[in-house]
Structure 1
Amino acid sequence: MNIRLVITLSTLFVAAFAGQASSKQPAAASAKTHLTVDDVKLAVYQRSATPSHTLIKPNTKDTKVYDVDKQVKVELKFNVKDEKTKESILVQQAFVAFVHKDSGREVVFVAEPETGTKTYVAELDMKSQEKNFEGLNGTYNVRLIIGDTNAANAIDWNCADVKVTTSSFVAAPVKKSQIVNYDPLSEIKHVFREPEKLPSAIISDTFTILCMAPMLLLFIMWLSIGLNFNNVKISLWSLGFHVGLFAIFGLYFVFWLRLNMFETLKYLALIGVPTFICGNRLLRSLNESRRHAKTE
C-alpha cells in the first residue's frame, strides 16, 4: 500500500478518535500544532569521504540531480518545528521516500532523531540498500513525509531528485504456495481413458472353445459311457440341486456374454447357497438309501 495513504489514513483515524475523547475539554485545549520542516541538508558523497551537505530552502526543490550508485551514501538531515513557536519537536512519523519518477514505485526509509537532539537523520548506504531498488534504475523523487496525530497538517515534500544506477537484480524465486493469482483458472476437461483394443475374432473364438473344452469333453464322456438314471430319486432336493447346477452353468454362459465379475459373484451367491443345501441333502438321502440296501 502507498505509504502516504497509510500515513494520511492513520492520522485521520487517530485524530478523529482523539477529537471524540477530548470533546468535553475547553476549546483552547483542542488547538493543534502546525508542522514545518526547516534546516534541510542533503549530502551525496563517496563512502570513504566526509559528507558535504547542501542546504535546501523550505518548500523549494534542489535544482541539482544527484548521481547515486553503490559507491556513494545519501544523507538527509532536517528539523521538524512548530510553526508558531519555531521550536524543534519530535513527531510520530518521519520518512524519506525515494519515488521512481516513471513507475511510481516507492522505496521508503525511516528517519530517526540523532542521539540527544531533535534533528532527524536518514542515511542510505547504497552498497547495502541497493537490493531494495530491485534493479529499477532512473530518476527518483526524494520526498520528506511527516505526520503526527497531534498536528493539524501532514507534510509530503519533494525536496530533491536523484538518478539511481544499481547493479543487475535477480529476484529470489517465489514459492508456488505464496503466489496469489486472481486470474480465472483454465477449464478442466476430463479425458476418459479409451477402451483397450479388442483381440481379433479368431483369437476370441479360439479362447472360448478352449474354455468350453472341459464341458464338451464331459458331455462326450457321458454319451460314450452312458448315463445311469436308476439311482436318481425324484425329490425336492434332487430337483433343487440339478436346477441350481444348470443355473450355475447358465450363469457362466451369461458371464461370457454380458456380465462383469462383480455381478456374476452376486448372482452366484444367490444360486450357489440353495444349490449347496440341496446337494448336501441329496447326498445324505443317497447315503441312507445305500445303508438300507446293505441291511436288507
Structure 2
Amino acid sequence: MFITRNYTEESGFCEASCSFCSIAKPNPCSSSSKPTIWRWFDVLAIPFDHADKLRPLLLPLHSQDKGRKNRRGVFEAMTMGSSPAATVLVLVMCCLLCGGGAAVEGGLIVELVTPSVSLGSDAQKLQVSVTSSDGSPAPAATVALASVHSVASDSPVSISEQSFASIGDGKYELGLSSSDLFLGKYKLRIDASSDDDKGFLDTVIAVTAPISVSNVKVGVVEGDSVLPESDARLEFKQTTTLSATHLQKLKLAFEVSGPSGALFKPQQVMLKLRGESGVEQTFLIKSSTGNSYELTLDFTKLVEKLNHQSGVYTVDLIVGDDVMENSFLWTLASLDLDLPEGPEGASSAPVSKFGPKPEISHIFRQPEKRPPTYLSMAFLVLTLLPLVGFFVALLQLGVNLKNLPSGGLPLAAAAGFHGGIASILVLYLMFWLKLNLFTTLQVLGFLGLLTLVPGFNILSYLANLSSASKVKTS
C-alpha cells in the first residue's frame, strides 16, 4: 500500500491518505537527511494510520533557525540523538497503535535563501529553495507568497506580484520594490506545491535600503533665535567650524527620508560632544514633525556635565538602524567652547563612568561591653534557686502518687493533664529561645484547651473519690 502526503492548513500536519484512513505526520526538518524516526519507519514499513490515536502524539513543535521554520514532532524530539533502545520503544508503541505496513513518501521543504531584501540601487530579489524530503530539487513546483504582515504593526501588507519565478536548480525568486514594501521587518507565509506534495514556510525577512539626510542646519544662536538659512546649511559629510560661550545655544535641524523620499524614523538618532580633555556627552534627538529632527543644547545647563572644561569639542551626528544600509557617524562641526571656571579646589579631570570608583572606608560599630563571667554565673544561680526551692517544698509536703488512678478514663485524663502542663512549660522554654510573643500566645491557647478538658475530668474524679472516702469514714 502506497501513501501520499499533502500539507493541510486546517490540521497543521502533512496529511497522508490511503484507501483506509487519513493519517498525520510532521514535515522533516532537514533537507539533507530524514530524521531518525522517519528513517526507521521507512525501513520497517510502519504505517501512519489511525489518526485519532496518533494525532495527540504528533503535535508539531515550532523552532526558528536561520530564517526558516522547522516543524518537529514529538517522535523526532524523542529520538534525535537518543539511544537505539528509546527509538525501538517508540516504534513498538506505533506498531501497537497502528499495525500493518506502508512506504512513506516525503513532502516539500521550503527554505529561505536570502534573509533580507535590499531596495537600493543594486536591488536584490527574495529567493527560496524548494526540495523534497530526500534533499533533491523539487521539479515543476508552484511557489507563491500567501501573506505578508508587518512585524512592527502586525497588519497585513498587499503585494502586487505574489508568484515566484523559477531560476533553476530548485530555486525561485520574487522581485520586490519600494512600492510594495518599505524599510522594516515582515512576516511571510510562502506556499509551495507540486503534483503530489505541498509545503510551506513561515519566516521573517528584513527589507533594507540606504537612507538620505537632507536640509542639515547647525549653528550657534543667542537665546531663542532662529538659525540663518544660508550660513548654517551643510551637505552630507561636510564639516564646519563654530564657536560659542556658555551663554549661547547650539541648534541642529535635519530631515531623514527613505527611498523615494518616504517617511522613515531610525532607531538611533544621537548627537555626541567630544572634548579634547576626554569629556563626552551624548544627547538623543527626537523627531519634531514627520521626518524632521531638531535639537537645542543650552550650554548654560551643560557647564556641570562638561566639567567646566573649555576648549575644542567635536560635534558628531549618529544615525543608525538595523534596516539601514548606510548607518553613519558624521562629524558636523568643530566647536570652540568657552565655559566658566569651576569652583576653587574642584577637580578638572573628567569623571569616567566605567573607571575605578573611590574606595569607601567604613568602621563597624564596636561591640557593647559584656559583664564579667563570674557575674553572669552568679545571676544564673540566683535564677535557678526558686526551682530548687520548689522541689524542696514538694519533698517537705510529702507529695506522692497514691491518688493516681489505676486505669480507665481517669488514668488517661491524668496523663493528658500532666502532659498539657509539661507542654506549656516546654512552650515557655521555646519562647525564651526563639519564638515571638504572637506565636507563643497562639500555641498557648491551643495547649490550654487541651489541658483544660482532662484537668476538669481528673479533678472531678478526685472530688468524687474524696466524697466516697468521707462517706465510708462516717
Normalised by the length of structure 1, the TM-score is 0.48
Structure (1/2) with the larger helix percentage: 1
Q: Which has the larger radius of gyration?
A: 1
Structure (1/2) with the larger strand percentage: 2
Normalised by the length of structure 2, the TM-score is 0.32
Q: Quick one: higher RCO (CA 8 Å, sep 6+), 1 or 2?
A: 1
